[in-house]
Amino acid sequence: MGILLRAVINAVAIFVAVYLLKPGISCCDKTYGFGDLDPYVGYLIAGLVLGLLNAFVRPILDLLAAPITCLTLGIFHLVINAIMLWILSLVPIGFHVNDILTAIIAALVISVVSFVLSRFIPT
């Protein structure tokens, strides 16, 4: 149940990021490999895949980037989150990020929304 709830929180955070940064980020777009599924299912799939990436790939990136993260006092985590979004855009689920600056801003938005929702909804 916790994994599904985490996927819903990620899906809402991705929806907010897409809504705020629409020209630079898109989800559930047929141009980038999304079929005829409901857009809400697409956001849920993107949230689930982002959760899986955060569970399995992010610890490796955190370990490799530990010296840079220490030098920048943790600010480099935004870049790691942006890299996670870029990896998510490589998966053919209809999620796409245009450039790295949009990915960094989207990572910040997704982090803030996920944090706020995690405080209100216990996982």
Q: Which residues contact 13 (CB under 8 A, 6 or more apart)?
A: 47, 109, 110, 111, 113, 114, 117
Query: What pLDDT digit, counting tens, does each position of 59-95 carry?
Result: 999 999 999 999 999 999 999 999 999 999 998 888 8
Query: What pLDDT digit, counting tens, does each position of 18-42 carry?
Result: 999 988 998 877 665 556 667 888 8
Contact 16, 113 (CB under 8 A): yes
The predicted model gives 46-53 an average pLDDT of 94
DSSP states along 68-120: HHHHTTTTHHHHHHHHHHHHHHHSTTT-EE-SHHHHHHHHHHHHHHHHHHHHH
pLDDT band at 46 (very low <50, low <70, confident <90, very high): very high
Q: Which residues contact 92 (CB under 8 A, 6 or more apart)?
A: 32, 33
| pLDDT score recorded for residue 7 | 92
Contact 18, 46 (CB under 8 A): no
The greatest distance separating any two alpha carbons of the chain, rounded to the nearest whole angstrom, comes to 46
| pTM for the model | 0.90
